[in-house]
Amino acid sequence: SQKIEQNSEALNIQEGKTATLTCNYTNYSPAYLQWYRQDPGRGPVFLLLIRENEKEKRKERLKVTFDTTLKQSLFHITASQPADSATYLCALSTNAGKSTFGDGTTLTVKP
Amino acid sequence: EAGVAQSPRYKIIEKRQSVAFWCNPISGHATLYWYQQILGQGPKLLIQFQNNGVVDDSQLPKDRFSAERLKGVDSTLKIQPAKLEDSAVYLCASSLEINQPQHFGDGTRLSIL
């Protein structure tokens, strides 16, 4: 069956460092992959989308990579700030737009 | 642009009662999704509409859950009868088209007593 695994534990880093979150999947051939941010009591907010034929995408301090051979995506936040503290979700999607979400990684950036 | 609107924000009911949630997507968005998010887990897709047609409802418990999207705009999700395991946040999302980023509402938190 399809399985998506994100960092199994919460991630704690110091302000200014780079946070790296992982998303591994099995038994799935996604057409594209998305990363979302979710704050407590709020709905997820879209951050980045990367398609299966793309290796890397960047947006300001964010970078995502997508390796379909390793079945893995890495999500980087450079120069992290306490305001980046949140839960980050990866979602794999088919060409029909059906999305399967991971359970998320909770990131805490300490000043 | 206005975001995805959902109501109510909170709902408390007893098991075996019925409940309905409402969603107003972003204007012009053709694709609408309903998700169930249990505490500590990621959102799980229940049903996906393209305009007013169903694209995927494979994970919708059809014996108790129903959803409709009349005129391809607003949508309602209903649970009848509710079970204790239905306690969760119900999220609605919309996208301009399939394969586009999804915009989420803040959800309805449902508690079953």
Over chain A (111 residues), the average pLDDT of each successive run of 10 is 84 97 92 96 97 95 95 97 98 89 97 94
Is residue A19 within 8 Å of residue A77, measured between CB atoms?
A: yes
Is residue A56 within 8 Å of residue A74, measured between CB atoms?
A: no
Q: How far is CA B106 from the centre of its chain?
A: 11
Q: Among residues 42-101 of chain B, which lie with CB inside 8 Å of chain A?
A: 42-45, 48, 55-56, 91, 93, 95, 98-99, 101
Angle CA A2–B109–A87, to nearest 5: 55
Count of C-beta atoms within a 10 Å radius of residue A2: 11
Of A31, A97, A101, the CB nearest to B43: A101
pLDDT tens digits, one per residue of B66-103: 999 988 899 999 999 999 999 999 999 999 998 899 99
Of A36, A43, A101, the CB nearest to B106: A43
d(CA A34, CA A91): 5
Q: How far is CA B4 from the centre of its chain?
A: 11
Residue of chain A minimizing CA distance to B4: A43
